[in-house]
Amino acid sequence: MAKVGIPRALFYYDYFPLWQAFFEALGHQVMVSDATNKGILEDGIKRAVDETCLPVKLYMGHVQNLRDRVDYLFIPRLVSLEEKHFSCPKFIGLPDMVRGCVPNLPPILDVLVDLTDNKKLTRSSLLELGKLLGASPAQVGGAYQAGLQAHRSYRARLKQGWSHEEGIRGSRPETLAEPENLLRVALLSHPYNICDSWASNNLMGKLKRMGAAVTTADALSLGYLRQKANTLSEQIYWTFEKKLAGAAMHYLETREVDGIILVMAFECGPDSLVTELIEREVRDKLPVMTLCMDEHTGEAGIMTRLEAFVDMIVRQKSRQEAAAAKEWAEA
């Protein structure tokens, strides 16, 4: 039985249940890096090149955290997750970046995921991984089906309103019923920007303490999000950014939320383009704010902006309710 390490960063919040079920079905132990802390960030900054975004720097730190504790590191190469759409270039080259930045690594399980024109290559890559781990093609196929089932269950929990961490654990604490008339805020970003409470300055927790119910893009189905994104005037060819744009269009149409907060990592090219596109569509129709995060982002600045945004929404809702009451009284 080998120990397979999975860094608690980047697409961990999207696919960890799938990977965990896959490797455990093959009889191996899955180990996850520690929760993000100052030491992990400092290690990542030392290892990563200056031009990389905060999430990639954190990833390098999580790799360093796992390096001496596992037999293998699982770092897939995510090229394309849907036809004619692509991942960030740093995702595509992530295994090579890790090899170049972090020394003395255990063997890296570098699986190619390319669903554009190379589905056969993805299957072949999985079989090569299984061969390296001593598994037969039939065992790899069975493990992959187990992983897909775990992923479907995880996605179902997210659509029921579970947080990503609760979905990964498969359990959630019993909570009191939420009070009525809460503000509802859509927090739209890659899960790795908002689910890592240390790196995000606990955005979700802060909003909830301010009386806001928080929802994310993962509360909606992927197929529906892609459909809504196609209503934009501009085509989006990055898979993850397309999901965020689709969520923004959904909330703009349904008005299920009182405001939208877009969170992007500094130096992320795809995010900077798509957040600008979303803002153009949403502004003047629904309150929207963009937060740009990097390793220098301070908690005080985040609190000030969140408080101002929530206060603006509260005052706007009060004016709307007063106008509606006056119109009703005069009718």
Question: pTM of the entire structure?
Answer: 0.86
CATH number of 179-330: 3.40.50.11900
Stretch(es) of the chain classified as CATH 3.40.50.11900: 179-330
CB count, 10 Å around CB of 181? 7
Spatial separation of the C-alpha atoms in residues 244 and 164, rounded to whole Å = 16
* pLDDT tens digits, one per residue of 225-252: 888 888 877 777 777 888 888 999 999 8
As a whole number of angstroms, the distance between CA 245 and CA 229 comes to 5
**Nearest of 85, 78, 91, 114 to residue 238 by alpha carbon:** 85
Give the C-alpha separation, 6 to 15, whole Å: 11
CA dist., res. 81 & res. 274, Å (int): 18
CA distance 279 to 26: 45
| 199 Cα distance to chain centroid | 13
pLDDT at 117: 60
Environment class of 322 (CB within 10 Å of its CB; exposed 0-12, middle 13-18, buried 19+): exposed
pLDDT one digit per residue (tens) for the chain, 331 residues:
899 999 999 889 989 999 999 999 999 999 999 999 999 999 999 888 877 888 899 999 999 999 999 999 999 888 877 767 777 788 888 999 899 889 999 999 988 877 666 566 677 888 888 888 888 889 988 998 999 899 999 999 998 888 888 889 888 776 545 555 578 999 998 888 888 888 888 888 888 888 888 989 888 888 888 888 888 777 777 778 888 889 999 998 998 899 999 988 877 767 777 888 888 888 888 888 988 887 777 777 888 888 888 888 888 877 766 666 666 766 6
- Residue range(s) in the chain whose domain bears CATH number 3.40.50.11890: 3-159
Q: To which residue do tokens 């056969």 refer? A: 120
Q: How many CB atoms lie within 10 A of CB 43?
A: 20
- Under CATH, to which class is 3-159 assigned? alpha beta
Instruction: Give the pair of three-digit tokens for residue 211.
Output: 């009386």
Q: Please count the other Cβ atoms lying within 10 Å of the Cβ belonging to residue 178.
A: 10
Instruction: Give the pLDDT confidence score for residue 92 in this predicted structure.
Output: 84
